[in-house]
Chains A and B, each alone.
Chain A
Amino acid sequence: MRKLVTTAAVALLMSGGLAAPVSAQGYTASDDITVLMGFKAGGGSDALAQLVQPFLAEELGVSFVNRYMPGATGAIAWTQLAKQVKPDGKTISITNTPMLMTNYIMNDTISYNITELTPLANIVTDPGIAVVAADSPYQTFADLMAAATADPGGVTVGNSGIGGDDFFTTVAFERAADVKFQKVPFQGDGPSWTAAMGGQIDASFNNVGITYPQIKAGNLRALVVFSNERLKELPDVPTAKELGYDVAAGSSRGYSAPAGFPAEARQQLVDGLRRVTENPEFQAAAAAQAMNIDFIGGDDYTKFLQDQEKVFTDVWNEVKADVQSN
């Protein structure tokens, strides 16, 4: 395994890091940075790492080593980050919302929380979206809402799993619109939209980046997006806000460090990440993978996480009894 890890590290270097000068010029805390990954190699977090880190390695003159510690929807890696990792600038982690917060909000056994972290920056956000099968009777979001109002709990809506962003988007929406869906959790985004496409469920609350190829091909119909403004790739799909529901949500991924991280190192990383997201080459690479850049740096990211934590806590306290009685 060690050999395989080295291979991966070498591969990372080869895919962009080689051009970087050996001496650290942009990052003074360390020559190399270990990135804890709470999910398996090849997953969404890994995709972000493979996209961002070659560019960041060049910006900062450091090399990156990914350490995969999958399990408990990221909680194993994040507990390690919060409780055991020394804040010496040598180790950071990819942090995914909402899982970063919902893990400990939903389970008392998970003991870390965001006050034990130093948030660095959010990089991408994949906005939420509601999709139905191409042959679904629901042509517009109003149709779906009418059905849900007429028969509370009769409209089945898939999500990517309990604790995931789509689950919380659905609940937040139910609260805002005062409707009740029958929520069906799946093992990830893929099975959720597949079930909608196959007609096993009425709709899937999902993410734009994931369902876009199917929407473009005409296999799925987008009813509403949960972003602040209309998306340029889906100009005809209204936002929830336009329709009068104050819900904007999605799944975000960024980087965080342990609490007590040196301020200088934090600033260098945040600036480096900002320059990466402004790089046209990076933007093109991100667009090719349908990743929606959403840079939120430094203290703004901290505030973003705190705001989300509050929303999710409220939502969970409200629906907890209902969900656990299933």
Chain B
Amino acid sequence: MESDVTDSFLKIGLINVMEPINILAILAGTMIGMFVGAMPGLSATMAIALLLPLTFQFEPATGLAMLASLYLSAMYGGSIAAILLRTPGTPAAAATVIDGYPMAQAGHAGKALGYSLTASLIGGVISSIVLLTVAPLLGKLVLNFGPIEIFAIAVLGITIIGSLSQGSAVLGLLSGALGLLIAMIGMDPTTGTPRYTFGNLNLFSGVEFTVALIGLFSIPQAIRLMIGGNADQAGRISNVRDRMLPTARQFIEMLPNSIRSAVIGVFTGLIPGTGGDTASWFAYNEAKRFSRNKAAFGTGHAPGIVAPEAANNAVVGGALIPTISLGIPGSSATAVLMGGLMVHGILPGPTLMTEYGDVTYTLLWAVLFANIALFVVGMLFTRACVSVTKIPNRVVGPVIVVLSIIGAYAINNSVFEIWLMLGFGLLGFVLDQCKIPTPPLVIGLILGPVLDTSLEQSLLIGRGDYMIFLQSPISAVLLGIAFLSVLQATPLPGLIAGLFRRMRGSVEAGNDNG
């Protein structure tokens, strides 16, 4: 009986989404999303909130289809600036910088964007299919993740620092610790006491993550471009006519990585409090872990682009699962989407799958269609973007600074945050000069607040007993994996492997593109 109902909603939704007005809404949402995503500081959440009133006059399904496509395409849009300018357009694209920019530097900007676009498509389609088929089942899973389990996830996330700082573990840890420290700024979540705010009201809510991110990545890059001048341009200019899409062989090679990253994305999106920013790092880390050619990461290695981009697009479907099946937003963008439902008189909650099934399933199909729209629009748009590499550095540098200032102000309409962004810019520049990696700092900033809140909550629930983390099976397993991850980053596994290899007496030269 219930599956019959779902089947008919599936059909109604598909028919609805094919209506010209809805297709048009999806295309419009895709274009706006790509633009918003590409601009540092303008986020999908912000664009959804601002466009929400515009959609009131549409049918609920049309408005939602537009907003969902916007959300999805902003995830790809973020990678455009990350790859071309080394400044992530959205927090979720921060991990894409690591391999995307070097690839563009080597003259393959089009190829890098092609990888990003294809990975986004795969990640997005997988998560849409999950969304359309098993959303209600997975939705229930969310309820198993309370503060204790979320703490364990955050601990696991922190261990990524280890793999991102190979070569100089100490500097990586320093950077990660700095990120965690900065994340402690603001009101304590359980006592309300301001920490490290120096009596400044603007710091009471903590450092806005996006502001820090813009500063850390964009400003040092702008300085580098301006100081570096236009010498040695030859390599940087990418041929616009360069092949963008991966070849059939490359596509098959990127599949396992994309699918793994998509699964990571769906699950990270599912869990409230973690979104695209976390998922892309998790996926990057796993891609590296599974790769036989770890040293290639960071030098413009395709899997380093594919993993975060497949993951952050898959987050969209994941984050929508608890939103539609339970009425629990999986991310800040879906929280705003839920506000959009309420305006149309649809109260977010379990009735979304029953009473309002037609609207909900139209939305779900729209997410799937938006992936295709994204691919098509992306192909057209990206060619134009690649020509950015032809603009002289002395022009691009100041433009990045201007965009960063606008972006930092736009987040909370706060002049203070422009200064904060510039402060982080200086910090990023100093770190760069001292060869201290910034990605661990970003991880610290993302996960610091999650760790802080969930630790305090767990201890309140467990009445101060740390054993509570081992009593929950999910948390115990996650913490176990985290422990193994830490071991992996120490010389210990290397020693054992070395011993093993010597015993076998052969050295395998790995060359993988997976």
Contacts and interface: CB of A to CB of B under 8 A. Distances in A.
Given A109-B201, A201-B461, A50 B192 contact: no
Contacts of A326: 190-191, 456, 460
Contacts of A212: 347
A187 B146 contact: no
A298 interface: no
A68 B412 contact: yes
Contacts of A194: 142-143, 272, 326, 328
B53 interface: yes
Contacts of A156: 460-461
Contacts of B350: 213-214, 217, 219
B146 A42 contact: no
Interface string A1-22: 1001101100110110000000
Interface stretch (B42-50, B110-118, B384-392): B42-50
Contacts of A8: 50, 53
B423 interface: no
A11 B49 CA distance: 12
Interface string B413-447: 11000000000000000000000000000000000
Contact of B190 (A1, A162, A201, A216): A162
A69 interface: yes
Contacts of A185: 189-190, 457
A43 to B, nearest CB: 8
Interface string A63-84: 0000111111101100100000
B205 A73 contact: yes
Contacts of A288: 342, 344-345
Interface in A62-109: 67-73, 75-76, 79, 106-107, 109
Given A8-B53, A190-B329, A71 B414 contact: yes
Interface in A144-159: 153-154, 156
B136 interface: no
A194 B144 CA distance: 10
B460 A42 contact: no
Contacts of B329: 190
B413 A68 contact: yes
Contact of A75 (B204, B344, B345): B204
Contact of A200 (B53, B56, B344, B461): B461
Given A15-B56, A162-B191, A41 B347 contact: no
A153 B464 CA distance: 12
Contact of A198 (B144, B273, B327): B144
B406 interface: yes
Nearest to A290: B347
The CB with the most chain A CB atoms within 10 A, among B143, B192, B409, is that of B192
A84 to B, nearest CB: 12
B54 interface: yes
A8 B410 CA distance: 14
Interface residues of A, number: 63
Interface string B326-352: 111100000110010011110111110
A14 B463 contact: no
Contacts of B414: 69, 71, 76
A11 B45 CA distance: 17
A184 interface: yes
Given A72-B201, A194-B272, A183 B56 contact: no
Nearest to A106: B192
B491 interface: no
Interface in A171-221: 182-187, 190-191, 194-195, 197-201, 212-214, 216-217, 219
Contacts of B457: 184-186
Nearest to A158: B457
B46 A41 contact: yes
Contacts of B348: 213
A67 B56 contact: no
A11 B47 CA distance: 13
B382 to A, nearest CB: 24
A46 B147 contact: no
Contacts of A201: 146, 461
A184 B37 CA distance: 36
Nearest to B450: A187
B52 interface: yes
B326 to A, nearest CB: 8
Given A15-B57, A41-B46, A213 B413 contact: no
A187 B189 contact: yes
Given A15-B56, A324-B193, 11 more contacts: A14-B53, A43-B339, A76-B204, A79-B201, A161-B189, A182-B463, A184-B460, A187-B273, A190-B335, A194-B272, A217-B350
11 contacts: A4-B46, A8-B53, A11-B54, A15-B56, A42-B335, A68-B412, A76-B204, A182-B460, A213-B327, A217-B351, A219-B326
Interface of A: 1, 4-5, 7-8, 11-12, 14-15, 40-43, 46-47, 50, 67-73, 75-76, 79, 106-107, 109-110, 153-154, 156, 161-163, 182-187, 190-191, 194-195, 197-201, 212-214, 216-217, 219, 288-290, 323-324, 326
